[in-house]
């Protein structure tokens, strides 16, 4: 038998496909196309395939290098990080669509398309308050739209879009979506035709589809986290009726390397930890704690891990270790045991790129 090595990230491809199908079906029923966003899983091909098989209309990533890996799946590709001026030639070569927020870049795209004898479709981004990418002045956005439409023959104005719930943590509400819809109508009036795409955001905007509240004009979403993890809705948003999305696509398995009773409050003068933070600790007396062999090098932070077994909670972590309280676990935890965890987006981003993590598909 093959010797197993840990840490191990298991991905249930069937469950992933099911999640994608559930989301695309609901979106399609509301007249919304779905770009499956695969940057969070390092565009690992067996997983990306499930986005295609589950009914996504496009495949999207923030990295051009990732677009290249799934060009062969046959779906239109979309770059969702506004591109660097220096990567415009590659953008035109690798992507069918891209999100845009700068006139100089749009002009450079026209030039690159001209060289390569290609057409490229763009979605102009409007900043509706999240303060990430996009035009803030909406008159300027209208001017940019008109510029693309009239002056750039190889650049097709596919539509407009917005991003919310990121830097500014702004909630995608019906009002925000109506603001985007109204802007789309103004663009359409200015250019005298309908837009193909009005892109209302990411996973967090899907909640309005789930609640049948999405304004009709929104016809496109870019979705990653919701189908991969569905962690945020369940653990941050308190959404309880979204049972059709599984949060068990991924399982992190890690091996116990030490387990013993220790004080819960550090002994000595408390200063800064290994990462420059000044943490606080609660004195809960002597408790049984376990260390597992996976850490910040593998997953950035371990704070959002949720142990599958009852009575196991997260205490902290180091580069290569995660510290757990196992005092309330009904069974005895021993060195060599394999513990299983649900993870969130921030962990899966790292785990799918980490050198020492085995990824296995079910």
Ligand X SMILES: *Cc1c(COP(=O)(O)O)cnc(C)c1O
3-state secondary structure of 95: coil
Residues in contact with 269: Cβ distance below 8 Å, sequence separation at least 6, in sequence order: none
Q: Is 163 in the site for ligand X (CB under 6 A)?
A: yes
Q: Within positions 217 to 256, which residues make up the interface with ligand X, using CB under 6 A?
A: 222-226
The residue within the footprint of ligand X, chosen from 18, 100, 181, 203 (CB under 6 A), is 203
**Residue 180: CB minimum distance to ligand X, A:** 14
Query: Binding mask 23-42 vs ligand X (x if CB under 6 A, - otherwise)?
Result: --------------x-xx--
Identify whether the C-beta of residue 292 lies closer than 8 Å to the C-beta of residue 308. Answer: no
- Name the DSSP class of 167: T
39 flagged as catalytic: yes
- Nearer to ligand X among residue 341 and residue 345 (C-beta): 345
Kindly report the length of the chain: 362
Instruction: Report which residue's Cβ sits closest to ligand X.
Output: 224
**Residue 330: CB minimum distance to ligand X, A:** 35
Q: Is 347 in the site for ligand X (CB under 6 A)?
A: no
Place of tokens 């790129």: 353
Give the Cα separation of 144 and 103 in Å (integer).
Answer: 7
Tokens representing residue 43 in the block: 């565009």
CB environment 192-220: b (16+ within 10 A), e (fewer): eeebebbbbbbbbbbbbbbeeebbebbbb
- Nearer to ligand X among residue 349 and residue 357 (C-beta): 349
- Name the DSSP class of 23: H
- Nearer to ligand X among residue 152 and residue 223 (C-beta): 223
- Nearer to ligand X among residue 80 and residue 354 (C-beta): 80
Identify whether the C-beta of residue 351 lies closer than 8 Å to the C-beta of residue 343. Answer: yes
Q: Is 346 in the site for ligand X (CB under 6 A)?
A: no
Q: Within positions 77 to 106, which residues make up the interface with ligand X, using CB under 6 A?
A: 80, 99
Binding site for ligand X (CB under 6 A): 37, 39-40, 62, 80, 99, 163, 202-203, 222-226
- Among all residues, which ones are annotated catalytic? 39
């Amino acid at each position: 038998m093959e010797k197993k090595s840990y840490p191990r990230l298991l991905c249930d491809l069937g469950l992933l496909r099911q999640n994608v199908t559930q989301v695309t079906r609901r979106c399609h029923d509301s007249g919304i196309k779905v770009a499956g966003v695969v940057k969070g899983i390092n565009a690992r091909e067996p997983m990306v395939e499930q986005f295609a098989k589950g009914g996504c209309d496009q495949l999207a990533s923030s990295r051009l290098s990732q677009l290249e890996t799934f060009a062969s799946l046959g779906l239109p590709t979309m770059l969702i990080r506004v591109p660097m001026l220096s990567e415009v030639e590659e953008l035109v070569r690798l992507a069918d669509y891209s999100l845009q927020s700068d006139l100089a870049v749009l002009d450079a795209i026209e030039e690159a398309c001209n060289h390569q004898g290609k057409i490229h479709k763009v979605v102009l981004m409007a900043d509706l308050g999240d303060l990430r990418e996009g035009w803030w002045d909406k008159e300027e956005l209208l001017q940019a739209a008109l510029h693309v439409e009239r002056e750039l023959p190889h650049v097709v104005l596919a539509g407009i879009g917005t991003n919310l719930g990121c830097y500014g943590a702004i909630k995608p509400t019906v009002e925000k979506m109506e603001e985007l819809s109204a802007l789309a109508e103004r663009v359409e009036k200015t250019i005298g035709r309908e837009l193909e795409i009005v892109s209302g955001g990411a996973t967090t905007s899907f909640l309005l589809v789930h609640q049948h509240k999405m304004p009709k004009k929104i016809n496109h979403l870019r979705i990653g986290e919701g189908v991969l993890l569905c962690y945020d809705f369940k653990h941050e948003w308190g959404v309880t009726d979204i049972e059709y999305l599984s949060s068990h696509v991924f399982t992190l398995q890690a091996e116990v390397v030490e387990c013993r009773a220790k004080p819960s409050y550090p002994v000595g003068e408390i200063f800064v930890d290994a990462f420059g933070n000044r943490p606080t600790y609660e004195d809960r007396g002597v408790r049984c704690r376990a260390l597992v062999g996976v850490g910040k090098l593998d997953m950035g932070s371990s704070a959002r891990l949720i142990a599958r077994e009852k009575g196991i909670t997260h205490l902290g972590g180091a580069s290569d270790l995660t510290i757990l309280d196992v005092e309330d676990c009904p069974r005895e935890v021993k060195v060599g045991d394999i513990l299983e965890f649900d993870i969130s987006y921030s962990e899966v981003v790292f785990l799918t790129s980490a050198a020492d993590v085995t990824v296995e598909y079910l």
